[in-house]
Homo-oligomer: A and B are copies of this chain.
Amino acid sequence: MDISRDRLLWAYERMCLIREFEDRLHADFAAGKIPGFVHLYAGEEAVATGFCAHLRDDDFLTSTHRGHGHCIAKGVDLRAMMAEIYGKATGACKGKGGSMHIADVDKGMLGANGIVGGGPPLACGAGLSAKIKGTDQVTVCFFGDGASNQGTTFEGLNLAGVWKLPVIFVCENNGYAETTSPRYSVSGQDIAARARGFGMPSIAIDGLDFFAVYEAAGEAVARARRGEGPTFIEAQTYRYYGHFEGDTIKYRDREEEAHYKSLDCIGRFRTTVIEQELLSQAELDAIAARAREAVADAVRFADASPLPGADDLLTDVYVSYPERELWPFQEVRA
């Protein structure tokens, strides 16, 4: 495996941070501490991490409603993320976006997205920026198996192909869109094959295997950086929790869950790097412990942070707009 120790350490740390972050949210949601729709990424860590391992801070990423993992892998600040999910003023989006809209444009993270299929067109735009400015920035577009059916996704594939954009489309096929499997929803059953119809290299990979993801991602990113256009990768993975928190998961069997958990991406990573003597157990344990502490710290930070104030309601709608037009026709405001 052509991967440096540093990269391995980084990858393990990111995967642990994601898992820890999501497990903690799961518990805290159940405890009633967190409002709204929360979609957890636990189980899919190898995908976001395997791709982001090849990205620079100035590369771009578009995401989905299930965006925490993408954010963490791209380096969005954990405290800011947690505070955002708690709706606090210190959040990445000042509490205005919440779990489904965490973004950090400075880090190239163009936002989680509540619209299934919202990302692919946006990714083309980021790719177009790089192309027109003549940089070698790359854009990675994550979306789900459900999103693979959305018209906007196909439009994005076509546009990226026509304009030869440096965009990598990553379909995170986690077996379900809410309750619906691609076995039902994807006519033809083969998501990667469909993308081939758009004239781009397209493969399906084991998304539970960090090294498989890392390798495929490396090739795709290099290709995009060389200006050779888009690539499609279907990463086959699994989500451990329900579609969103509160989901009782009546649409799949516990045996299936157990099977996938036996293939856990973090566990397999550990086994591989220890067996191949790339990293030591002690190193790994230390990273896991640090991740636990980092998440605990983020929760403490979020807990202690202030809520946004009434003034914040009307800010950030526009760069500039007459104040009175933010509540037109009325004087009795909140």
Contacts and interface: CB of A to CB of B under 8 A. Distances in A.
A198 interface: yes
Nearest to A202: B197
A162 to B, nearest CB: 5
30 contacts: A149-B155, A149-B158, A150-B151, A150-B155, A151-B151, A151-B152, A151-B154, A151-B155, A158-B185, A158-B186, A159-B187, A160-B187, A161-B187, A161-B188, A162-B184, A162-B185, A162-B187, A187-B198, A187-B200, A188-B197, A188-B198, A188-B199, A190-B197, A190-B199, A193-B197, A194-B197, A194-B198, A195-B197, A196-B197, A197-B197
Contacts of A161: 187-188
A281 interface: no
Nearest to A194: B197
Q: Number of copies of this chain in the oligomer?
A: 2
Contacts of A158: 149, 185-187
Max chain B C-beta neighbours (<10 A), residue from A152, A190, A198: A198
Contacts of A193: 197
Nearest to A159: B187
A299 interface: no
A153 B158 CA distance: 13
9 closest A-B pairs (Cβ-Cβ)? Answer: A151-B151, A161-B187, A188-B199, A194-B197, A154-B154, A197-B197, A151-B155, A187-B198, A158-B187
Given A150-B151, A151-B150, A152-B151, A157 B199 contact: no
A197 B191 CA distance: 8
A129 interface: no
A189 interface: yes
Contacts of A160: 187
A198 to B, nearest CB: 5
A149 B163 CA distance: 14
Max chain B C-beta neighbours (<10 A), residue from A159, A188, A190, A199: A188
Contacts of A199: 187-190
Contacts of A159: 187
A162 B151 CA distance: 15
Interface in A123-174: 149-155, 157-162
A85 to B, nearest CB: 31
